[in-house]
Amino acid sequence: MSGRAAPPAGSWRLLLTEPLDGATNMAVDEALWRGRLSGEGLATVRLFGWAPPALSIGYGQRRDARLNLAACRRWGLGLVRRPTGGSAIYHDGPARELTYSVAAGAEDFAGAGDLLLAYRWVALALLEGFRRLGVPAEMRTVGPSPGRQPAFCFARTGSYEIEVAGKKLVGSAQRRRAGGFLQHGSVMLGVDAERVRVLFPGDGDPLAGMTTLEQVLGRRPGFAETAAAIAEGFTRAHGIELRPGGLTRQEQELIDRLVREKYGTAEWNERGRLVTDLSRVS
């Protein structure tokens, strides 16, 4: 802990960033999470995009033949391993996809200390946001029993995830420590169906169980419109005030280090492990 005063209880930050490369995006979210765990950073809802488009794989996911990494390289896509779990997601830039993250402490809301209750809390906010867009979304209360994890996040729906007419609209993943959690989620505005099928060749048709806002609404809402609706959803669902803010100097310094020594390295992105001693940031 530094000598800096802790943020006031109940403070939430809304962080809207320009589209970033995969390594920087994941470094930002880990920095937010670590700041909240230490008590120095604010609880934060972040809404962002990716440039260039990228494939993110889960914290413990194997890089096997169910992922077409040759196509990923051929198309010049980014590739990064997330700090959160779950399966891979193709982030096709802000024209087709919005990613959210929530970095919160165990005391930031009732249920934040429990994995499924935290999923539910986030899902209720997303539902409220989608209703503002006119999306007839529903929350699946109980997902199927865990089986073989698919390579593509949208190929399986778990508990407290968002669906429309039985098809998955949002893919989410979480990582927890005793003091709080980080949750990521991908909201599909549209989809490049051909590209997704090439990137995920190993689980049948990867699009069979998913849908997009474009398919549901008959139009594709823009990134800014969707971000505004989701932010309002958190306020209306939970009565929290999201105050727009930026990154602190300490957060930016940690982000730079995480990019350089973790998310920008082959050893992390290929194996999920670091040989060097980065206990404070790994």
Assess whether 72 carries a catalytic annotation: no
CB 114, CB 77: distance < 8 Å: no
- Residue 43, CA distances (Å) to 13, 31, 85, 152, 254 in order: 6, 12, 20, 29, 17
> How does DSSP classify residue 179?
T
Q: In what order do the strands lie in the sheet with 97-105?
A: 170-177, 180-188, 97-105, 43-48, 12-16, 242-244
> How does DSSP classify residue 191?
-
Among 97, 209, 234, residue whose Cα is nearest residue 143:
209
Q: What is the largest CA-CA distance in the chain?
A: 54
Burial of residue 53 (number of CB atoms within 10 Å: 0-12, 13-18, 19+): buried
Q: Which of 14, 79, 153, 199 is catalytic?
A: 153
Residues annotated as catalytic (active site), given as ranges = 153
